[in-house]
Structure 1
Amino acid sequence: MTAFGYHCSHEQIAPSRLLRHVSRAAEAGFDAAMCSDHLAPWGVAQGESGYAFSWLGAALAAAPLSFGVVTAPGQRTHPVTTAQAIATLGEMYPGRFWAALGSGEALNEHITGDPWPPKDVRERRLRECVDIIRALLAGEEVTHHGAPENGGVRVDRARVWSLPAEPPPLIAAAVSPDSAAAHAEWADGLVTVGCDPRGVGEVIAAYREAGGRGPVRLQVHLALADDDAAALAMARHHWPNGAVPSPDSWDIATPEEFDRRAASVSDDELRTAMIVSGDAAVHRDRIAELADVGFDAVMLHQVGATAEQQDLFIDVFGERVLPELRSAG
């Protein structure tokens, strides 16, 4: 049966309030949770971006859910410190934590002052980081000299001392079939994003055809409000960045630049990028269609960031939508 999770949007909600929301989501019947590791929000008005790994320690203690994080080792965060963070959470909360590793976005990574590499270089760097993190989680001492011209990383006699009995799964984060297939060799599972069944189905198919193993998860952005007009206004105000497609979104360096790019997105582009409706039944049916593609978990992000908008989503989904999805499945 598909699990339905609550996406914790650090880019929009202060860490203390987000902790209250995820605890409430657990009480309402959500099965799991996830978040992204960002330094900056996507847009200036979003105005938040707590450190995901710090927050996860509190969230795992507060809410009896499995949690995942999407992070990008290799530039802003060294793979050794990423491995230590993963190991610490895995040791404290056995079997409840996974980490998805991706090649990142300039929005978070440019702050080191190093050049932002092209996609092929970032993919090679990610694979180096995966191998380093796996070795460290296995208790090995690692020394590694990556080629600087290939974006490689350097490690000198590193060891992670506090280890979990079982390493947390390392999941691939991919938005295209090509990336999903390329990651299949190393990944313990896959997480992607979208709300078009055909498109996300192609990502799953590419991953499985390349030998990809483990669970596949989907992140879905949605705007639920009192009516359709309010839902569309919510999407435009709180999450217009969601309609900025990749690869453009990978290379934008600041929230201000994202705001300029997102200002031109149309209403149709917003509706394509997320589920926008004031009718809970519409959300239920669209999510059921996505789950039927073959996802083990669907992680739901209500783009409205106010406390009232989050409470509406949690209450409506907890009372009506999630039970109906489960009974239909």
Structure 2
Amino acid sequence: MTVIGFHCSHEQVAPGRLLRDVQHAERAGFTAAMSSDHLSPWSARQGESGFAWAFLGAALATTGLPFGVVNAPGQRYHPAVIAQGIATLSSMFPGRFWAALGSGEASNERVTGAEWPRKEVRDQRLRECVDVIRRMLTGEEVSHEGLVTVNRARIWSLPDTVPPLIGPAVTPETAARHADWADGLVTVNQPLDTLRRVLDAYRDAGGRGAARLQLHLSWAATDDDALAIAHDQWRSNVHGPPVSWDTETVEAFDTMAATVGPEQVAEVVRVSSDPGQHAAWIQEYVDQGWDEVYLHHVGKEQEAFIDTFGERVLPQLDPTSPPPAVTDRPMHVAVEVNR
């Protein structure tokens, strides 16, 4: 069973165009989709950043694909608002939506004017947010005082089943921390041995649910063109944590990327003009144990990539649809509230 999904990169593609792209991807044979959720792009060259939650409603309504989103509650988003958003999409599109909840990046969260906390504080804040969101999704009225404050928050339009809350992680340590609360794991492509450590850390700590991988790749008619696309669009993304967490502005990312060469980009993006090579790379991840692989062509133009992969890559992988996006945790129950 191989789920091959299409990654919707709001940082690079205008929302109307991206909606048409994901519809195209479904017709081409992709069997799922996931969405980034940014306020700003990583580079001025990328130059877009649509509101993911508006896009998700439109995309779920105009395709039959299941969708996920990677979100950071706690600063730019209050957890009660995210809980309501998750509940509404899950109610309208049962079994087709999951949300990954992470600790965030300064480039998106700084806009509130609040202090950007240390990583350990952000991790604790995330745990509080996850608890608030999950309790609200089971129908509870929630009040909470801590790194986030919640005052008698309740969701009135609940889905029939609790949707999955997924743990995003790029290190084994984070993957292990997520294992006790998450309904699945999502990460981005790294060297295979690093990915093995991330997946093993999650499973060894008791992590449940599907393992999802977002794969950055660049395809074009020639290797040189594919590398040029990757270098233009993704050289701001070669810096790992804590740089990617703590850098605040597009201008700063572009300054840091000024000396990044194409060879460095090729270390974090799978670059080739050969669809067979891309299929072989994807199969390596599937063989390693990743249940769902979401392909992110890092170019701004998606149409030729979708057509080529639909015709020449997906048939080699025989993608299937994922099971319904639900957890085996308790469904919501009526909660008596003292007022």
Structure 2: state its 5+ residue gaps: 320-339
> Scaled by the length of structure 1, what TM-score is found?
0.95
Counterpart of 1:264 in structure 2 is: 259
Counterpart of 1:108 in structure 2 is: 108
Alignment of 1:246-261 (within 5 A): 246-261=241-256
Once the two structures are superposed, residues 98-153 of structure 1 have per-residue CA deviations (whole angstroms, 9 ceiling, x without a partner) of: 0000000001000111111111110000000000000000110000000xxxxx00
Question: 1:4 aligns to what SS in structure 2?
Answer: strand
Once the two structures are superposed, residues 175-213 of structure 1 have per-residue CA deviations (whole angstroms, 9 ceiling, x without a partner) of: 000000000000000000014221111110000000000
Pairing partner for 1:302 from 279, 297, 302:
297
**1:20 matches 2:20:** yes
Contact 2:276 2:312 in 1 (8 A): no
Question: 1:143 aligns to what SS in structure 2?
Answer: strand
Higher relative contact order, chain-length normalized (CA < 8 Å, sep 6+): 2
Counterpart of 2:318 in structure 1 is: 326
Counterpart of 1:293 in structure 2 is: 288
CA distance in 1 between partners of 2:244 and 2:119 (Å): 12
CA distance in 1 between partners of 2:28 and 2:250 (Å): 33
Kindly tell me the number of residue pairs found equivalent between the two proteins. Answer: 319
Alignment of 1:1-329 (within 5 A): 1-146=1-146, 152-306=147-301, 310-326=302-318
CA distance in 2 between partners of 1:200 and 1:178 (Å): 12
Contact 1:195 1:275 in 2 (8 A): no
Contact 2:35 2:68 in 1 (8 A): yes
CA distance in 2 between partners of 1:183 and 1:189 (Å): 9
Amino acid at match of 1:171: I
CA distance in 2 between partners of 1:283 and 1:195 (Å): 15
Once the two structures are superposed, residues 195-242 of structure 1 have per-residue CA deviations (whole angstroms, 9 ceiling, x without a partner) of: 422111111000000000000000000000111111110001112122
Contact 2:228 2:262 in 1 (8 A): no
Cα–Cα, structure 1 residues 69 and 246, in superposed 2: closer, same or farther, change >3 Å?
same
Give me the CA root mean square deviation: 1.0
> Scaled by the length of structure 2, what TM-score is found?
0.93
Contact 1:196 1:290 in 2 (8 A): no
CA distance in 1 between partners of 2:76 and 2:257 (Å): 25
CA distance in 2 between partners of 1:196 and 1:24 (Å): 30
Once the two structures are superposed, residues 278-318 of structure 1 have per-residue CA deviations (whole angstroms, 9 ceiling, x without a partner) of: 11111111111111110110000001102xxx111101111
CA distance in 1 between partners of 2:194 and 2:259 (Å): 24
Once the two structures are superposed, residues 39-92 of structure 1 have per-residue CA deviations (whole angstroms, 9 ceiling, x without a partner) of: 111111211111101110000011111100000000000000000000000000
Contact 1:244 1:265 in 2 (8 A): no
CA distance in 2 between partners of 1:62 and 1:326 (Å): 24
Contact 1:242 1:274 in 2 (8 A): no
Question: 1:239 aligns to what SS in structure 2?
Answer: helix
Identical positions, percent: 58
Contact 2:2 2:317 in 1 (8 A): no
Contact 1:73 1:79 in 2 (8 A): yes
Amino acid at match of 2:191: D
Contact 2:41 2:47 in 1 (8 A): yes
Question: 1:25 aligns to what SS in structure 2?
Answer: helix
Contact 2:73 2:102 in 1 (8 A): yes
Amino acid at match of 1:112: T
The structure with more helix, counted as a fraction of residues: 1
Counterpart of 2:328 in structure 1 is: none
Counterpart of 1:149 in structure 2 is: none
Structure 1: state its 5+ residue gaps: 147-151
Contact 2:13 2:48 in 1 (8 A): yes
Contact 1:184 1:212 in 2 (8 A): yes
Question: 1:46 aligns to what SS in structure 2?
Answer: coil
Question: 2:267 aligns to what SS in structure 1?
Answer: helix
Question: 2:318 aligns to what SS in structure 1?
Answer: helix
CA distance in 1 between partners of 2:275 and 2:190 (Å): 16
Amino acid at match of 2:27: E
